[in-house]
Chain A
Amino acid sequence: MTITTEPQRATQPAKPPATRRRRSGVADRGANRLFRYLTTGSGVLILIALAAVAGFLLWQAWPAFTTGSDELATKVSFLQGEGSLLAYLGPLVFGTVLAAVLALAIATPLAIGIALFTSHYAPRRLAQVLGYVVDLLAAIPSVVYGLWGALVLAPLVQPIWGWVSDVLGWIPLFAGPAADPARVLLTVAVILAVMILPIITAVTREVFLQTPKLHEEAALALGATRWEMIRTAVLPFGRSGIVSAAMLGLGRALGETMAVVMILSPGLTYSFALLLAGKQQTIAANIALKYPEANELGMSTLMATGLALFVITMVVNMLSRWIVARRKDFSGAN
C-alpha cells in the first residue's frame, strides 16, 4: 500500500497533450464515446457511492435526531440516564479521539525511529527485508491483533500499569489504582499503536528514502554527525510526509473496532484516567457492542454515532490531503 501514498509519483501525471484532447474530440463517437461514458460513469459512481454512504447514514439516523430527548431515552435502553443524544455522543467522541491520539503519540516516534533505522542505519540487505516485513505486518487483520491483545498483552501489562499508577499516580492521566485485569484505555492505545505502526513506518520510510542525496552529503561534508545530518537534512525534508503518515494512522486508529471491543471495559465519561476501567469508549466499538440488542430507534442512535465517526475521519483525511498538497507546492524543485 506504499504506492498509494507515495507523493513523488503522484506529482508526475501523464501529460495530456492539447493535440490529443482535440483529436479525441473529433473522433468521439461510437465505441469511443461509449467507453468514455463508461469510465466517466465509474468516476461519477464513486462520488455517488460516497454521497450515498453519508446520505444513508443520515437517513437512518434521522429518527434519532427528530425524536425528543425524553421519548428517545424511554425507547432506547442504552440512552437511559444519559439524557439527550448529544450527551450520549459527546463522551463517545471524546473516547474515540483520546484513544486514537494516544495511539498516535506512542506510534509516531517509534515509526520514525524504525523508518530512519531502515533508511539510514541498517545495512541495505537487512533494510530490504525489514521493509518487506513491515508491509506484511500492515496486512494482518485487526481481529488477530485483538485476539492477541486480549489474551496475551493485557495480562502482561497489568503489573506494569500497576507500577506506573503507584509511581506516577499524581499525574491525573495515571491515577490509580490500576484496574485489574488491564481492560483500560492505555492497553487499547498500545494495541492501536502496534496496529498503525506498520502503516506509518511504511509511509515515512518512503519519504525518508527520497531525501535528496546531495542534501545528505552536503551535511556530512560540513562535518555533521550522522544524527545531525538526519536532523538537518532528512527530517526537515520529510516533515510533511511524517505528518500525513501520522494522519493516515490516526484515521485507522479512529475507526478501529474489533481490537477495542475485545479489550476495553467501556464507560461514558469525559475522563483522562487511562488506567481506570469503565471510563471511556470509542464510537466504533460501541456500535459493535450495542447493535445486536438495539431496537429500531436504538439503531438510529447508533447510526447517528456512526455518522459522527464518518465526519471525524473525513476531516482528518482532508486535513492530511491538504498537508500533502501544500508540500507539493513547496517542494516543486524535487
Chain B
Amino acid sequence: MITVKELTKRYARNTAVDHISFDIQKGQIVGFLGPNGAGKTTTMRMLTCFMPPTSGTATVAGFDVLEEPMEVKKRIGYLPETPPLYPEMRTGEYLEFVGRLKGLRKPELEKRVDYVCERCAVADVRDKLISKLSKGYRQRVGLAQAIIHNPDVLILDEPTAGLDPKQINETRDLIKSLAGDHTIILSTHILPEVEQTCEQVIIINKGKVIATDSVNNLQSRARGAESVLIEVAGRNGSLDSAAIQSRLEKVSGVNKVVFKEKKESRNVFEIESGKGRLVRGDLARAIVEAGWDLNELRPSAMSLEEVFLQLTGQPEAAPKEAAAAKGASQ
C-alpha cells in the first residue's frame, strides 16, 4: 500500500529524515515509534504531500507523492498532531466542509457524515460548536474528518497526545476498529501504545529507521532467550537460597539462574533459558519434588520499552522516557 524508498528531507542545517525505506501492506496497523524530534511528523508530512521530499520516493496506493499528489491526497486521510478544526463551525458543518473538500457530493456526502458521526461517536455533538467541545471529542472529530472520504490509508500523528487515560483508551479502541477498512500508520513516542494498538512497528531515531518488525518479533529479537520469574518459599521457616539455585540450575534447558531477592521466607529467581525451550513445567516439577512451595511462576517478557531503549541506545534518556510513557499510558 505504501512504499518508501530512500526518503530524505534536509533542512538548511539538519537532516530530519535520512534515507528511510519501508513497506506497508494493505490493512495493517503500523506504529511509527521514536522519541520526539526523530522525524516521525516530517515523514508523515511527506507521505501526505504536505511537503516534498529532498530526495527519494514514496508511493501511496501506487501513486508517487511528487508526480501525482492529487491522486495520493484523494486516498489519504490525515490527522495532524493538533486536529485541524475550525472552532467557529459546528461539528456537522465542519465534517460536511471537509467532505466537500475531499470531493464528496450531496447524497453521498450526507451518508458519509452520518456514518462517521456514528463511527467516531460524535453524533451527540453534531450541532455543537467545535470551540465548545472537550479535548476527547475534538480528537474524535479529527478522526471523523480523516475517514470522511473512506480513504485507503489513514495517517495519524500522535492521535492520543494530550488526552486523559479514559479518552486514550477510547481513541485506541476506535483506531483498532478502523483497521479492517483502512491501512493505518500512527506515530507515537509512547511505547505501550504500540504494544496495544499495532501489529507492525517501525522504530525511527534521528531520522533513520533502526528496526522494522512485528511487535512480537521485536520483543523476542531483542533478547535471544526467554526468561521466567520464579518465587519459591519453604513450608517451615526460611530456605537456603543457594540450595534452591543449584537445584534449579540442574533443570535441563536452563542457561542461567539469577538470585534476585529474598523477602522473609520467599526467594525470587530469574531464570533464563534457550529460545524455544519450554522449561516452565520442568521448573515447577523440580521445586515441588524438592518439597518447596511454588508461589509464583511467570514469563518476564521484555517490554517494548526496553527493546526500544536497547535499540536506540539511549540509556541516559531511559528514566525520563520511561516515566513519561508510563504516565501517559495509565
Are A and B physically bound partners?
A: no
**B→A interface (CB under 8 Å):** none
